[in-house]
Amino acid sequence: MSIEQNKQIARNLFENLSNLKFDAMLDAIAEDVRWFVLGGTYFGETLNKELLRKSLRTVKVGVPNGLNLKISRVIAEGDNVVVEAEGNAQTAGNKTYNNKYVWVLTIRNGKVVEGREFMDTMHVLETFGPVMRAKGK
């Protein structure tokens, strides 16, 4: 895949995440993906595709109208794509969830094989509590 194709795969993935289109998002992710959520020890676990799928269910409960992500930058080199974005969502509990993200993706053969997600995990915990943590390890 070309660098531009990889950038488009990344854009599509996060547009689908933003709009809670999880099946379409997960279609872009390899079965053996390794996904890391970084930014605090609470979220330091590695997720495979099934645990990522479970985590996404809690996102839909927490922000039923979507994350409203605005992508500000997409940078790519080889198989690696970096996406910077900010979300501005209303939670199910009528709180404002405004987080900033950086995702570092490795894309091979049109699929994300590794994702590193950086965000303000304290803001997640303050807004949602521990409900956002994937269960099932």
Q: Helix or strand or coil: residue 101?
A: strand
Instruction: Provide the pairing of β-strand 80-87 with 100-108.
Output: antiparallel
Q: How far apart, in Å, do the first and last CA atoms of the chain sit? A: 33
Are 22 and 16 spatial neighbours (Cβ–Cβ below 8 Å)?
yes
For residue 14, name the pLDDT band (cuts at 50, 70, 90): very high
- How far apart are alpha carbons 126 and 104 in whole angstroms? 25
For residue 61, being part of any structural domain is answered with yes
Q: How many domains does the chain have?
A: 1
Place 74 in a pLDDT band, splitting at 50, 70 and 90.
very high
- Residue 137 is assigned to a structural domain of this protein: no
State how far the alpha carbon of 68 is from the alpha carbons of 3, 15, 76, 86, 90, in Å: 25, 9, 23, 8, 9
- Asked, for residue 106, whether it belongs to a domain, the answer is yes
Please check whether residue 66 lies inside any domain of the structure. yes
Average pLDDT over residues 34-57: 75
Backbone angles phi, psi at 88, to 5 degrees: -145, 95
Residue 24 belongs to domain spanning: 3-132
Is residue 65 a part of any domain in this protein? yes
87-96 pLDDT, tens digit per residue, is: 999 999 999 9
Rounded CA separation 77/80 (Å): 5
What pLDDT shows up at residue 59?
87
Instruction: Report how far Cα 32 is from the mean position of its chain's Cα atoms.
Output: 16
- CATH assignment at residue 30: 3.10.450.50
